[in-house]
Amino acid sequence: MLPLALALFVPAVIYGFAHRSLLVIPPGHAVLMSFAMYGLWCVFQQYLMQSYFHRRLMSMSRNHHLTSALVALMFGAAHIPNPILMAATTAGGFILAQVFARHRNIWPLALAQTVGGFLIAALSPSSLIHSMRVGPGYFFFNLR
pLDDT tens string 67-102: 999 999 999 999 888 888 899 999 999 999 999 999
Tell me the pLDDT tens digit for each residue of 28-78: 788 789 889 999 999 999 999 999 999 999 999 999 999 999 999 999 999
75: in domain: yes
Q: Is the pLDDT of residue 142 over 70?
A: no
12 belongs to a structural domain: no
Q: What is the pLDDT of residue 123?
A: 78
Residue span of the structural domain in which 116 resides: 30-131
Radius of gyration of the chain from its Cα atoms, rounded to whole angstroms: 16
Q: For the whole prediction, is pTM greater than 0.85?
A: no
- Residue 65 lies inside a defined structural domain of this protein: yes
* Structural domain includes residue 6: no
pLDDT, residue 112, reads 93
Is there a contact between 97 and 49 (Cβ–Cβ < 8 Å)? yes
Asked, for residue 56, whether it belongs to a domain, the answer is: yes
Confirm whether 124 is domain-assigned.
yes
What's the number of domains the chain is made of?
1
Nearest Cα residue to 115 out of 87, 88, 137: 88
Confidence band for 6, pLDDT divided at 50, 70 and 90: low
Asked whether residue 69 is assigned to any structural domain, the reply reads yes
